[in-house]
Amino acid sequence: MSFISVFDVLGPNMIGPSSSHTAGAAVIAYLAHKMIAPPLKKVDFTLYGSFSKTYHGHGTDRALLGGIMGFSTDDTRIRNSFSIATERGLSYSFTPCETETDVHPNTVDIRMENAAGQVMTIRGESLGGGKCRIARINGVEVDFTGEYSTVIVVQQDKPGVVAHITKVLSDKGVNIAFMRLFRESKGNTAYTIVESDGHFPEGIEEPLKNNPNVHDVMIIEP
């Protein structure tokens, strides 16, 4: 017989005692794992605010590690995230940061490295009720929640790229709910984030990439 601690309570849509510290954390990491090609080799979590103080006792660490391995908030494997990560050969670390205080109380930076050597960083904020916001990608300020089907286009900030994106989506019959462009500075790397009420058609990445100023395309389905 296996025993379940108070921090392994199975709620309606989550594993753990706190929607902010477990469900929200798992969703942030789950979204992050969708943004980099598998398999992951190494992941480093830097925790801020209340995350930095209670991440172990409230199970935030297990939730983050489970999410980065693709576990949903109600996946019971979250309880065994540490051992599963070890079995998969995934190196991980958790670093509390209490010196940077001008952040949302439940904030985590995630640095991911895959087997091909690709490195990506994201910042996420847990908002309560299992909801979250992705606030940075590779140091660029962004803003999306993952509640809608989302396409992220990594591009050079050049004329015509946004028009190319909207034409492809229109040709494929995609209904755009929200569309925003975020950039480092004029002419540098930019991220166009499109959220849709419906699912994106299979294979839409290739026509979106068919532009010399598009570097990568990521699809995140809720």
| CATH number of 197's domain | 3.30.70.260
Query: What is the C-alpha separation between 132 and 25, in angstroms, rounded?
Result: 8
Is 86 in the same domain as 113?
A: yes
The stretch 1-11 carries a mean pLDDT of 38
Residue after which a domain boundary falls, among 119, 138, 157: 138
Shared domain for 117 and 154, answered yes or no, is no
Same domain assignment for residues 20 and 118: yes
In the chain, % of residues over pLDDT 70: 90
Whether 40 is in a domain gets the answer yes
Question: How many other CB atoms sit within 10 Å of the CB of residue 149?
Answer: 18
Structure tokens belonging to residue 105: 């109380």
If asked whether residues 12 and 108 sit together in one domain, one would say yes
Helix, strand, or coil here: 158?
A: coil
Query: 57 falls in which pLDDT band (50, 70, 90)?
Result: low
Question: How sure is the predictor about 104, in pLDDT bands with cuts at 50, 70 and 90?
Answer: confident
The helix (run of H) or strand (run of E) holding residue 197 is none
- Is residue 1 included in any domain, yes or no? no
Cis peptide bond prior to 38, omega within 30° of 0: no
Is residue 210 domain-shared with residue 104, that is, in the same domain? no
Residue 174 sits in the same domain as residue 92: no
By residue range, what is the domain housing residue 193? 149-220
Query: Which whole number is the average pLDDT over 122-132?
Result: 90
Q: How far is the C-alpha of 166 from the C-alpha of 196, rounded, in Å?
A: 12
**Is 0.85 surpassed by the pTM of this model?**
yes
Please tell me whether residues 210 and 112 are part of one structural domain.
no
Quick one: average pLDDT of 196-221? 96
pLDDT digits (tens, 9 = 90+) for 134-184: 999 999 999 999 999 999 999 999 999 999 999 999 999 999 999 999 998
Q: How many domains does the chain have?
A: 2
More confident residue, 129 or 148: 148
CA distance 20 to 208: 35
Interval 105-118 mean pLDDT: 96
Tokens of 75: 């996946």
